[in-house]
């Protein structure tokens, strides 16, 4: 099974669980270290689990009730000048071609396009509380639909935490996930063995940490949590 197929299977499973609902997931924001320098980016786990998309300023909409667009990505548009400084952006076309979106739009079009994917739903699945500004965006769209609900008889009548559906899914690992976990464990074992061989009397803890994380990097991996090195 390819990586893209794995994400597609996860989305398909989620669609089955939410039925006529619409699920919305937002990417993690960039964290500023100081001035115009940012920390290394870490994607929101739920967002990445369903999309494999590793950029900020993105929103995934999963709408199984929609006739054509059951998986939609809103992403940062291509911008050569900005990419020179902040790195590559997939852009709208690659979001469809590589990440399997049925439709993709610039993140700047979210407010214009989102109602189309909400109006046919009976419930919105979204995790409130983590992004105040985006929370307000979702609530505003929901309230707009609720105002016309008495006339149309359609539209979401409730918001449910998407984690209540998605997190039980994440507990059960697929064959591909188990393979990745075993690979990560092998890398961790290699790093620990290397660090133990390197450790000598009189060394600093940060030197041993550097040796461990060197092995992670050599294998194309990153730490799942900060290294704990103490004497």
Residue 228 located in a structural domain: no
Per-residue pLDDT at 157: 87
> pLDDT per residue over 68-101, tens digit each?
999 999 999 999 999 998 899 999 999 999 999 9
> pLDDT per residue over 187-215, tens digit each?
999 999 999 999 999 999 999 999 999 99
Domain match, 196 and 166 both: no
Residue 46 located in a structural domain: yes
Per-residue pLDDT at 124: 98
Range of the structural domain that residue 103 is part of: 3-171
Domain match, 51 and 160 both: yes
Domain match, 141 and 56 both: yes
User: Quick one: tokens of 137?
Assistant: 């965006």
- Locus of tokens 């979401």: 156
User: Quick one: tokens of 108?
Assistant: 């700047």
Long-range contacts, 215-224 (Cβ 8 Å, 24+): 215/187, 215/190, 215/191, 216/187, 216/191, 219/187, 219/190, 221/184, 221/187, 222/40, 224/184
**pLDDT of 3 above 80:** no
Residue 35 located in a structural domain: yes
**pLDDT of 130 above 70:** yes
Domain match, 86 and 186 both: no
**Residue 148: which CATH number?**
3.40.350.10
Domain match, 211 and 147 both: no
Domain match, 35 and 81 both: yes
- Number of domains the chain contains: 2
Residue 160 located in a structural domain: yes
d(CA 165, CA 64) in angstroms, rounded, equals 15
């Amino acid at each position: 099974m390819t990586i893209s197929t794995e994400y597609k299977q996860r989305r398909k499973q989620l669609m089955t669980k939410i039925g006529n609902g619409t699920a919305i997931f937002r990417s993690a924001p960039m964290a500023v270290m100081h001035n115009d320098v940012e920390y290394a980016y870490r994607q929101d786990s739920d967002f990445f689990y369903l999309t494999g998309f590793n950029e900020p300023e993105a929103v995934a909409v999963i709408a199984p009730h929609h006739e054509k667009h059951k998986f939609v990505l809103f992403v940062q548009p291509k911008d050569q000048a900005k990419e020179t400084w902040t790195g590559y952006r997939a852009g709208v076309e690659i979001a469809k071609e590589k990440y399997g979106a049925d439709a993709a739009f610039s993140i700047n079009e979210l407010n214009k396009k989102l109602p189309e994917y909400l109006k046919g739903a009976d419930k919105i699945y979204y995790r409130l509380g983590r992004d105040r500004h985006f929370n307000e965006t979702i609530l505003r769209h929901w309230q707009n639909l609720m105002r016309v609900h008495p006339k149309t008889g359609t539209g979401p009548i409730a918001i449910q935490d998407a984690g209540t559906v998605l997190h039980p899914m994440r507990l059960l690992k697929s064959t591909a996930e188990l393979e990745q976990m075993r690979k990560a464990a092998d890398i961790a074992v290699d790093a620990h063995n290397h660090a133990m061989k390197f450790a000598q009397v009189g060394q600093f803890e940060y030197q041993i940490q550097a040796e461990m994380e060197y092995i992670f990097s050599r294998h194309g991996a990153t730490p799942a949590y900060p290294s704990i090195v103490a004497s």
